[in-house]
Chain A
Amino acid sequence: MTDLSHIRNFSIIAHIDHGKSTLADRLIQQTGGLTEREMTSQVLDNMEIEQERGITIKAQTVRLNYVANNGETYELNLMDTPGHVDFAYEVSRSLAACEGALLVVDAAQGVEAQTLANVYQSIEHDHEIVPVINKIDLPAADPERVRTEIEDIIGIDASEAVLTSAKSGIGIAETLEAIVAKIPPPKGDRDAPLKAMLVDSWYDPYLGVVILVRVIDGVLKKGLRVKFMQAGTEHLIDRVGCFRPKIEQLPELGPGEIGFITAQIKEVAQTAVGDTITTVVRPAAKALPGFKQVQPVVFCGMFPVDAADFEKLRESISRLRLNDASFSFEMETSAALGFGFRCGFLGLLHLEIIQERLTREYDLDLITTAPSVVYRIQLNKSRTDDAREIMLHNPADYPDPSRIASIEEPWIKAVIYTPDEYLGSILKLCQDRRGVQKDLTYVGGRAQVTYELPLNEVVFDFYDRLKSISRGYASFDYEQIGLREGDLVKMNILVNAEPVDALSMIVHRGVAEARGRHMCERLKDLIPRHLFKVPIQAAIGGKVIARETIAAMRKDVTAKCYGGDISRKKKLLDKQKKGKARMREYGSVSIPQEAFIAALRMGEE
């Protein structure tokens, strides 16, 4: 156990690509956590997807032993937090485990919206912020401008900002000194009843569920019977340790320390982030504040392209869920897409990550339906049913409109940070998506605009549009601000007069027509010609709001077919019939699966 005064717990706040992982790697290297040979780039981001996308999904910690210039040895706990708003709650718990943060800002790019959101969160946790201006050796670097930006935008003193180039190893020693000098040591009482926060957890095939903890008061030891206060469960601790970043077992974790425990827990779902761990004997009187049960906010259907893969999908989803309790799933059937699952996610990035992991790690070919949000619907009393409230996750379950008293949809507050020249297009995008402008400020050549937006407009390709109109320069961050009533309707897509369940969506009446027309036009190009003409309609209830017609096929016939051609023709026919089996029938219209995938693909206008 290290004396409180010699512990420093800190996180690193940075926008994607500003150099967080590289800086972390350098800190580990400099303090001898890993030899040169053991360093793979981005040590902390273990998952393939994390490394590829340069993002952190799971929180991780590394304990560094640092001999400071004053000759004393300090225990530095680096908390690598998820960097995306989808994981805002997880981020808040990781931050709550620290007393300070390194704010890493790219010396050329300057402050980004995502950085801001995380800095504010960190400030809310009373963190001491140590500014680090990174990539100072880039030709475009302008540390002085960035220093001013940090002071102007964030409002913290940046006069003593550390100048680094993590890539070239510049300023690493100075960073370590600044951590010791500026970040306050944790507080805690070794003799008080145990109080430790469950920061994050994951499933390890050898160790079972590994739980990251920050001890507030008391001591965690192997053999201790502990209680998870929110879950109400009891467990026997069988390992206590830390990561350096290699796993190392320790006799105990004392107050102020960050490390891990295992307790023969099989499922991540049993370990809620933010829970308070205490002892069964002499428990803490009160749980730690700030605990929340996370709820999925974005939903979509996931179906195997090959119906025979359904069981494999079920298994893969279940296995993923073992390690990620924040996503939910239940079985769903679609006339168009067969058997699949309705899955709930913390946000769009979370959705993409799960989708990608299923595709990549489990080798599944998936169709993902358009993402939707959760609506709260007040139902009127009917002859057979009382007035009641339902939460709608799937447009397919949309109730009889005559019973709907009101529908509420989730709204978000979005902060967009963009170079001036793209502001006009961005404002238009936000207006088109029913946004309500709340704030607009300029700093240098950059604008920061705050909008309130309905989440269902954001899940429909908003982010991709934003990236494309700003050529990738705009950054975007959001938080949920609750439910608001809206004039929302279910729009059906009818092919040859038959509704196609997988394509129905809930939209605001004001944008329904444009959305419907877009979908009809898209399908017109995606559905092959048939022997008869095929009308494609978008309709709200019985009212058609957009329509396209696919002309009937005119000619499809083999000119020559004699005795020697039979086998070839038979093979062709077999192939055509096989192709037909991969289609879904709606009102005698065969819709190729590719058409569903393309029609539902996000991010195309």
Chain B
Amino acid sequence: MNHAAILDEQRSDSVNPLALYVHWPFCVSKCPYCDFNSHVRDAVDIDAWRDAIIADLVHEAALTPGRPLSSIFFGGGTPSLMPPALVADILAAADRHWGFAAGIEITLEANPSSVEAARFGDLAAAGINRVSLGLQALDDGALAFLGRAHDVGEGLAALDVAQDAFDRVSFDLIYARPDQKLADWETELARALAFGTGHLSLYQLTIEPGTRFSTLAAKGELTIPGGDEAADLFETTRAMTTAAGLPAYEISNHARIGEESRHNLTYWRYGDYVGIGPGAHGRRGKAASERHKKPENYLAAVARNAHGIKAEADLDPATRATEALLMGLRLAEGVDLAAIAADSGIAQGNLIDARAADQLAALGLLTRDGTRVTVTEAGMILLDAILPRLVAI
């Protein structure tokens, strides 16, 4: 069975899945490549945060009644720094207010340090059944460059603990690092695949604005592989993961069949998700919401309003359809134009540029099968150039 067939089957399980994202914004230190909403604080008042996050959760639950959660994801920041009891309390509140769908996936992002590995058992006991480990590299020099506190030995030890403690384990690697040769990456990736996890997130290093790396790049002190080199690295990655039985189901995500991140699939399939915690985004029906980013502002907002929303607005049909396309086309399964048309009210023929679609198909970058449009293996690497041509809205 291929990805698409499996995913279709999963989809039929819960017709209207609801995903919950919980953002824990604190880190021990800030990594030079990371532009996520993360903050370093000397002390964190756990009780205050428990109250705030749960209040925020209650607010959202009231707006989405009768919809059991199909997945929960603790992201950050560094959510593995959360006390397991706090995780347990939040999960209990979620269960109380929404209820869990059968086979719920509950993921937590974790740093592969010995300190955090020591808590994996408690986190599992609290209800976490999947972890995503920020291993990032299997090379000590690269880990130091990426500003990570752990070394390879410590990271692999944590991976071991995680594989014992949790049903499902994934880990992240960052590749296309400065001066990384194709042969080196092949060796590193082969080693990574041998650990036998069912899921891998493999990201090409991207220089994000507002990070230390972007300052270095602007000064000319940091260059990452570009053009042909980056393309070779990408293609090799896909070939090797496919050969190992973990083909890409999304641009940077690889899994054994059935081991895909259901939570992230909700984003890419443009399903509904609730986002709570600082800076979290949500899509609830037509409404898009965004929480206050700065931890202190978030706490103050919850104290004032009993929720952390900074802005909330209904998205117009064109925006919803566009978002559905740009997220969905990242997936190997592609998008169903009929579904997007039904949700947005925009006619199928007006969603994509038919002439561009024909040209892209002739170039082998796109396939159309009935109402389904899929970017091909060859097209994925060019997705950002394809989208502005294809999307007609």
A residues sitting closer than 8 Å to B (CB atoms) are 530-532, 553-564, 566-567, 569-570, 573, 576-577, 579-580, 588
- Please determine whether A559 and B204 come into contact, CB atoms closer than 8 angstroms: yes
Question: Does B7 sit at the interface, judged by CB under 8 A?
Answer: no
Q: Can you sample 25 A-B contacts with CB below 8 Å?
A: A531-B365, A531-B382, A531-B389, A553-B385, A554-B231, A555-B230, A555-B234, A555-B381, A555-B382, A556-B383, A557-B234, A557-B384, A558-B206, A558-B384, A559-B204, A560-B203, A560-B206, A560-B252, A563-B266, A563-B273, A567-B281, A569-B327, A573-B388, A573-B391, A588-B359
Question: Does B380 sit at the interface, judged by CB under 8 A?
Answer: yes
Q: Mark B300-337, 1 if CB is under 8 A from A, else 0.
A: 00000000000000000001001100110010000000
Shortest CB distance B169–A (Å): 19
- Please determine whether B327 and A532 come into contact, CB atoms closer than 8 angstroms: no
Q: Within 8 Å CB of A564, what residues of B?
A: 37, 275, 279-281
Q: Within 8 Å CB of B319, what residues of A?
A: 570
In the complex, the 8 A-B pairs of residues with the closest C-beta atoms, listed nearest first: A554-B231, A576-B388, A555-B231, A556-B385, A564-B281, A563-B267, A556-B384, A559-B203
Q: Within 8 Å CB of A558, what residues of B?
A: 206, 251, 383-384
Q: Within 8 Å CB of B148, what residues of A?
A: none
Give Cα A570 to B227, complex, Å.
Answer: 24
- Please determine whether A554 and B203 come into contact, CB atoms closer than 8 angstroms: no
Q: Within 8 Å CB of A576, what residues of B?
A: 384, 387-388
Beyond the given A564-B37, A567-B281, A573-B388, please list 5 additional residue pairs across the A-B interface where CB-CB is below 8 A: A554-B230, A554-B231, A561-B326, A563-B266, A563-B273
Shortest CB distance B261–A (Å): 10
Q: Chain B interface: which size bin?
A: 35 or more
Q: Within 8 Å CB of A532, what residues of B?
A: 363
Q: Within 8 Å CB of B387, what residues of A?
A: 573, 576
The verdict on A566 contacting B382 (CB below 8 Å), with A573-B388, A576-B387 known, is: no
- Please determine whether B383 and A557 come into contact, CB atoms closer than 8 angstroms: yes
Question: Does B126 sit at the interface, judged by CB under 8 A?
Answer: no
Give Cα A554 to B282, complex, Å.
Answer: 34
- B200-247 with Cβ < 8 A to chain A: 203-204, 206, 227-228, 230-231, 234
- Please determine whether B391 and A563 come into contact, CB atoms closer than 8 angstroms: no
The verdict on A563 contacting B283 (CB below 8 Å), with A554-B231, A573-B322 known, is: yes
The verdict on A554 contacting B359 (CB below 8 Å), with A563-B281, A564-B280, A576-B387 known, is: no
Q: Which B residue's beta carbon lies closest to that of A532?
A: B363
Give Cα A372 to B384, complex, Å.
Answer: 40
Q: Which B residue's beta carbon lies closest to that of A580?
A: B388
- Please determine whether A577 and B391 come into contact, CB atoms closer than 8 angstroms: yes
> CB < 8 Å: which of B206, B252, B264, B381 contacts A554?
B381
Q: Within 8 Å CB of B384, what residues of A?
A: 556-558, 576
Question: Does B21 sit at the interface, judged by CB under 8 A?
Answer: yes
Shortest CB distance B220–A (Å): 22
Q: Which A residue's beta carbon lies closest to that of B268?
A: A561
B residues sitting closer than 8 Å to A (CB atoms) are 21, 37, 203-204, 206, 227-228, 230-231, 234, 251-252, 264, 266-267, 273, 275, 279-283, 288, 290, 319, 322-323, 326-327, 330, 359-360, 363, 365, 380-389, 391
Q: Within 8 Å CB of A530, what residues of B?
A: 385
The DSSP consensus for interface residues of chain A is loop
- Please determine whether A562 and B231 come into contact, CB atoms closer than 8 angstroms: no
The verdict on A557 contacting B380 (CB below 8 Å), with A563-B275, A570-B323, A570-B326 known, is: yes
Q: Within 8 Å CB of B251, what residues of A?
A: 557-559, 561
Give Cα A563 to B252, complex, Å.
Answer: 15
Give Cα A555 to B264, complex, Å.
Answer: 24
Shortest CB distance A581–B (Å): 10
Q: Within 8 Å CB of B363, what residues of A?
A: 531-532
- Please determine whether A559 and B280 come into contact, CB atoms closer than 8 angstroms: no
- Please determine whether A573 and B326 come into contact, CB atoms closer than 8 angstroms: yes
Give Cα A460 to B273, complex, Å.
Answer: 62
Most buried by A among B228, B322, B330, B388: B388
Give Cα A563 to B149, complex, Å.
Answer: 27
Give Cα A577 to B251, complex, Å.
Answer: 22
Give Cα A576 to B280, complex, Å.
Answer: 26
Q: Within 8 Å CB of A560, what residues of B?
A: 203, 206, 252
The verdict on A577 contacting B383 (CB below 8 Å), with A563-B281, A566-B323 known, is: no
Q: Which A residue's beta carbon lies closest to that of B324?
A: A566
Shortest CB distance B94–A (Å): 17
Q: Within 8 Å CB of B206, what residues of A?
A: 558-560
Shortest CB distance A94–B (Å): 57
Most buried by A among B266, B282, B363, B365: B363
Q: Within 8 Å CB of B234, what residues of A?
A: 555, 557
Shortest CB distance B217–A (Å): 16
Give Cα A532 to B363, complex, Å.
Answer: 7
Give Cα A532 to B366, complex, Å.
Answer: 13
Shortest CB distance A75–B (Å): 68
Give Cα A566 to B326, complex, Å.
Answer: 8
Give Cα A443 to B281, complex, Å.
Answer: 81
Give Cα A556 to B389, complex, Å.
Answer: 13
Shortest CB distance A436–B (Å): 49
Shortest CB distance A525–B (Å): 15
Give Cα A562 to B269, complex, Å.
Answer: 11
Q: Within 8 Å CB of A566, what residues of B?
A: 267, 281, 283, 323, 326-327
Shortest CB distance A535–B (Å): 15
- Please determine whether B327 and A559 come into contact, CB atoms closer than 8 angstroms: no
Shortest CB distance A241–B (Å): 63
Q: Within 8 Å CB of B383, what residues of A?
A: 556-558
Give Cα A523 to B9, complex, Å.
Answer: 51
Shortest CB distance A495–B (Å): 15
Q: Which B residue's beta carbon lies closest to that of A588?
A: B359
- Please determine whether B391 and A557 come into contact, CB atoms closer than 8 angstroms: no
Shortest CB distance B135–A (Å): 16
Q: Which B residue's beta carbon lies closest to that of A577?
A: B388
Most buried by B among A530, A531, A555, A559: A555
- Please determine whether B279 and A554 come into contact, CB atoms closer than 8 angstroms: no
Shortest CB distance A604–B (Å): 26
Q: Which B residue's beta carbon lies closest to that of A563?
A: B267
Q: Which A residue's beta carbon lies closest to that of B266?
A: A563
- Please determine whether A554 and B326 come into contact, CB atoms closer than 8 angstroms: no
Shortest CB distance B75–A (Å): 8
- Please determine whether A567 and B288 come into contact, CB atoms closer than 8 angstroms: yes
The verdict on A553 contacting B267 (CB below 8 Å), with A532-B363, A570-B326, A577-B391 known, is: no
Q: Which A residue's beta carbon lies closest to that of B291?
A: A564
- Please determine whether A557 and B327 come into contact, CB atoms closer than 8 angstroms: no
> CB < 8 Å: which of A557, A559, A561, A580 contacts B382?
A557
- Please determine whether B382 and A556 come into contact, CB atoms closer than 8 angstroms: yes
Give Cα A569 to B322, complex, Å.
Answer: 10
Q: Which B residue's beta carbon lies closest to that of A562?
A: B267
Q: Which B residue's beta carbon lies closest to that of A572?
A: B384
> CB < 8 Å: which of A531, A562, A570 contacts B385?
A531
Q: Within 8 Å CB of B204, what residues of A?
A: 559
Shortest CB distance A475–B (Å): 43
Q: Within 8 Å CB of A579, what residues of B?
A: 388
Give Cα A23 to B326, complex, Å.
Answer: 69
Shortest CB distance B310–A (Å): 13
Give Cα A563 to B327, complex, Å.
Answer: 9
Q: Within 8 Å CB of A561, what residues of B?
A: 251, 326-327, 330
Q: Within 8 Å CB of A563, what residues of B?
A: 21, 266-267, 273, 275, 281-283
Give Cα A594 to B218, complex, Å.
Answer: 24
Q: Within 8 Å CB of B37, what residues of A?
A: 564
Q: Which B residue's beta carbon lies closest to that of A555?
A: B231
Give Cα A567 to B359, complex, Å.
Answer: 28
- Please determine whether B228 and A554 come into contact, CB atoms closer than 8 angstroms: yes
Give Cα A562 to B19, complex, Å.
Answer: 13
Give Cα A420 to B126, complex, Å.
Answer: 91
Most buried by B among A531, A557, A569, A580: A557
Give Cα A555 to B235, complex, Å.
Answer: 10
- Please determine whether B227 and A555 come into contact, CB atoms closer than 8 angstroms: yes
Shortest CB distance B327–A (Å): 6
Give Cα A567 to B323, complex, Å.
Answer: 8
